[in-house]
Structure 1
Amino acid sequence: MRHADICILGAGPAGATAALHLANAGHRVTVLDKATFPRDKVCGDALSGKVLMELRRIDEALPAKLAAWPGQIPSWGIDFFAPNGQRLSVPFRPRYNPDTEAPAGHVARRVDFDHLLVDELRQRPEVELLEGIAVADHRLGADGRWQLLDAANQPIITARLLLVANGAQSAFARQIGGHALEPAHHCAGLRVYYRGVRQLHPHNFIELHFLPDFLPGYLWIFPLPDGAANVGVGMLTQEVSRKRVNLRERLHELLTTHPKLRERFADATPEGPVRGFGLPLGSKRRSLSGNGYLLLGDAGSLIDPFTGEGIGHAMISGRHAADWAARALAANDTSARLLQGYDAAVYRRLGKELRLSHGMQRLLRWPSLFNFVANRAARNPTLAETLSAMFLDLDLRERLRQPSFYLRLLAGK
């Protein structure tokens, strides 16, 4: 049986980020994943500016390596489609120039992006990567070490500190971290890859469609390399239950009957099956640590409740987890009390943004308000640029929650 100071469950973006930061600091770490890479994971596949920033923090060369990776395309913004059909184009950077600037974001299938990160892990001598290892149980021993066991109840490894980054369905997060599925803070989603979707944005803007009878959910279309697109729907789990929505049937209906979508999908063909997934949203603050463990990424319920972004938040949590894991080992203290510093660090970075996104999610209960802002922005370049800047400036984004913002719009200001 193996013994480690730090064991990371999951080699996705959260776990890989933590492992690479720990390796950069000279710490040895063992990473376990039940999958063998490359492997697919159901996801929207968008890589935001946060992802690029976190890659740069790991290694200055990684953003360029991603840009050269054949499995990605650069993306320069988001097209929001209001309930009335009005398109609101929001570049990630105002007045961007794709010919002279580095991309502000990318879109890449998770099978490709995660493979890029795992490839980095495999090159680091400080990292022991164990693939195809399924953990069935976790036990905290009297000596304060975690013991991980397989399905036959045989020990796999013991560790002083567990960094739990094994995704939205993490048994550890539910059973030990106390992250029960709460329908008001959880999103049900479907994803399918298509080829032949028409009228994709020339600069690969990702699309979010807020359709009148599908609120507070939305449909997305994200362009991918080689003419493919990631297409899916997401809706709060409590609304799926309350409205008795069959997401699979609803997705098919929208793509084949919606006046604007049916034309774009008339010659499109699905590539593989429709796959479902659940997203634990960061619309509620939860505990991220306990005696000898930290919860990262989706296992920590850190997904943006408005846009559904999870990868950037996962990588941010991975960076802070590496920092606090190193502090705990240096202090010879893996107690819950010390590790609460990790919770504070993550929410200091993401807390305000998650609260604002939750507020924007609730605004979807008033589709006429969304229509109003989209109509005004379509005629007012200054307002459109302000909305673009809101993706980079949280203080600007907070204006969307203030009644005075809409009063000024009514007055034409």
Structure 2
Amino acid sequence: MLHHDICILGAGPGGATAALHLANAGQPCLLLDRASFPRDKICGDALSGKVQSELRRIDETLPDKLAAAPFQVPSWGIDFFAPNGRKLGVPFRPRFNKETDRAAGHVAKRLDFDNFLVEEVRRRPEITFRENVDVASTERTADGWRLLSKDGQELASCRLLLVANGAQSEFARKVAGHALEPDHNCAGLRAYYKNVGSLSPDNFIELHFIQDFLPGYLWVFPLPNGEANVGVGMLSKTVAKKKVNLRQRLDEILQTHPALRDRFAGAERQGPVRGFGLPLGSKRRALSGANYLLLGDAGSLIDPFSGEGISHAMVSGRHAAVWAGEAIKKADFSPAFLKNYDNAVYNRLWQELRLSRVMQRLLNFPSLFNFVANRAIKNPTLAETLSMMFLDLDLRERLRKPGFYFRLLFGD
């Protein structure tokens, strides 16, 4: 097997983004995935405005390609349903015009979106892409890593390993020390339904915060062909403490909740209900070490409030490509140098992750959550803040200004 400067484990949004940015910089890399694409990935399937911004950074034509793809629907906002039943509709862009404006978000099955990125990967000669390669273990060497099969055969070796193989990454757990912490991990279920009633004509995604299901939440995201991605999420700590059967609760809510039962009376589930775990970015963890970088879900970068992970994976992929290139130039793969990658990722994401952690904690206090929802209906600053959590507007600058918090609490 040939020795490579850079190997990437996982061809999801984080790994594919890193490979494409490396290709743009003229840097060859080896990209490995144990699946064959297209392949399914359990997810909420929402693509925020931040995803579009990251696509544009790869190639300015990609957002238009995505918008023209038949596998997606354009989404124009979010409907938040508070525990008291109040609905707060937050458009991604105030006073949007569907005829002239570019949609700020999309919804697409991960089967299709991940393959959309992989098709870009296949076009790039700088990227050696190998599917159906199951890296069972890794072994430290004097100058990097060996990637081994189940029977101990060497599959590849490299000087720098970019680990983007998802939430269940064995490397992240065993080498990087990312232990599963129930207070920073979300358990989720996802199912596809057809013929759900009263979906938004503007494809607003729905987040339902239901009184007797808090601090969990339920989502309904519209998809092409009359389908919807429907699921529930709750902190693993709460699931264990309250002995919650998420599968049972999902069925109960859809059958009995006043805002949902009529809409799902004639709906048909397409395929099984599938479960997944989300390592949340509610705690700052190390994203690098000797000769490696962690990307996306493998780096525990999922938004604690919305559960969004795709854009954060792509942000980390972009920064990983930058610092991988610098490490190659300087021949420096030390933990001290690669810490620049951690700093770059958290400089972009940490304040938003902290705000999302605060919003997540509101779910433990239904009356306070209701107050926030009621305030947001009358408070443009708060409504805009909720929408900005899903966009690529620079929320960080606002978070640094004390006056922002006064307007957030007391209105403009």
TM-score range, shorter chain: over 0.9
Aligned partners of 1:325, 1:349: CA distance in 2, in Å? 18
Aligned partners of 1:400, 1:35: CA distance in 2, in Å? 48
Aligned partners of 2:18, 2:329: CA distance in 1, in Å? 17
Partner of 1:80: 80
Equivalences for residues 174-193 of structure 1 within 5 A: 174-193=173-192
User: 146-155 or 370-379: which moved more?
Assistant: 370-379
Equivalences for residues 21-100 of structure 1 within 5 A: 21-100=21-100
Amino acid at match of 2:8: I
- SS across alignment from 1:221: strand
In 2, are the aligned partners of 1:94 and 1:389 still within 8 Å (CA)? Answer: no
1:193-217 Cα offsets, whole Å, 9 max, x none, are 0000011111101000000111111
In 2, are the aligned partners of 1:189 and 1:235 still within 8 Å (CA)? Answer: yes
Partner of 1:228: 227
| Alpha carbons of structure 1 residues 195 and 171: separation in structure 2 relative to 1, 3 Å | same
Deviation for aligned residue 1:145: 2.0
Partner of 1:364: 363
Amino acid at match of 1:364: L
Aligned partners of 1:37, 1:75: CA distance in 2, in Å? 26
Deviation for aligned residue 1:378: 3.5
- SS across alignment from 1:252: helix
Partner of 1:261: 260
Partner of 1:164: 163
In 2, are the aligned partners of 1:290 and 1:336 still within 8 Å (CA)? Answer: yes
In 2, are the aligned partners of 1:94 and 1:388 still within 8 Å (CA)? Answer: no
1:165-203 Cα offsets, whole Å, 9 max, x none, are 000000000000110100000000000000000111111
Partner of 1:17: 17
Amino acid at match of 1:351: W
- SS across alignment from 1:88: strand
Q: With structure 2 as the length reference, what TM-score do the two structures score?
A: 0.95
- Between the two proteins, the alignment pairs up a number of residues equal to 409
Q: With structure 1 as the length reference, what TM-score do the two structures score?
A: 0.95
Q: Which runs of 5+ in 2 are unaligned?
A: none
User: 3-12 or 361-370: which moved more?
Assistant: 361-370
Partner of 1:280: 279
Aligned partners of 1:22, 1:63: CA distance in 2, in Å? 19
Deviation for aligned residue 1:150: 0.2
Equivalences for residues 116-265 of structure 1 within 5 A: 116-141=116-141, 143-265=142-264
| Alpha carbons of structure 1 residues 388 and 328: separation in structure 2 relative to 1, 3 Å | closer
1:225-263 Cα offsets, whole Å, 9 max, x none, are 010000000000000000000000000110111122110
Amino acid at match of 1:105: G
1:357-401 Cα offsets, whole Å, 9 max, x none, are 101111122111221232344456676456545653345568999
Partner of 2:342: 343
| Alpha carbons of structure 1 residues 379 and 350: separation in structure 2 relative to 1, 3 Å | closer
Amino acid at match of 2:90: V
* Residue number among 403, 407, 410 corresponding to 1:408 in the alignment: 410
| Alpha carbons of structure 1 residues 386 and 120: separation in structure 2 relative to 1, 3 Å | closer
Amino acid at match of 2:410: R
Amino acid at match of 1:408: F
1:106-163 Cα offsets, whole Å, 9 max, x none, are 000000000000000111000111100001110111x222001000111100100000
Partner of 2:318: 319
Partner of 1:111: 111
- SS across alignment from 1:117: helix
Deviation for aligned residue 1:340: 0.5
- SS across alignment from 2:8: strand
Aligned partners of 1:233, 1:398: CA distance in 2, in Å? 33
In 2, are the aligned partners of 1:399 and 1:405 still within 8 Å (CA)? Answer: no
| Alpha carbons of structure 1 residues 388 and 149: separation in structure 2 relative to 1, 3 Å | closer
- SS across alignment from 2:253: helix
Provide the alpha-carbon RMSD of the alignment.
1.9
In 1, are the aligned partners of 2:191 and 2:273 still within 8 Å (CA)? Answer: yes
In 1, are the aligned partners of 2:381 and 2:407 still within 8 Å (CA)? Answer: no
Deviation for aligned residue 1:333: 1.1
- SS across alignment from 1:304: coil
In 2, are the aligned partners of 1:356 and 1:398 still within 8 Å (CA)? Answer: no
Aligned partners of 1:398, 1:220: CA distance in 2, in Å? 31
Q: Is 1:295 aligned to 2:294, yes or no?
A: yes
| Alpha carbons of structure 1 residues 98 and 47: separation in structure 2 relative to 1, 3 Å | same
Aligned partners of 2:225, 2:402: CA distance in 1, in Å? 37
- SS across alignment from 1:41: coil
Aligned partners of 1:381, 1:58: CA distance in 2, in Å? 33
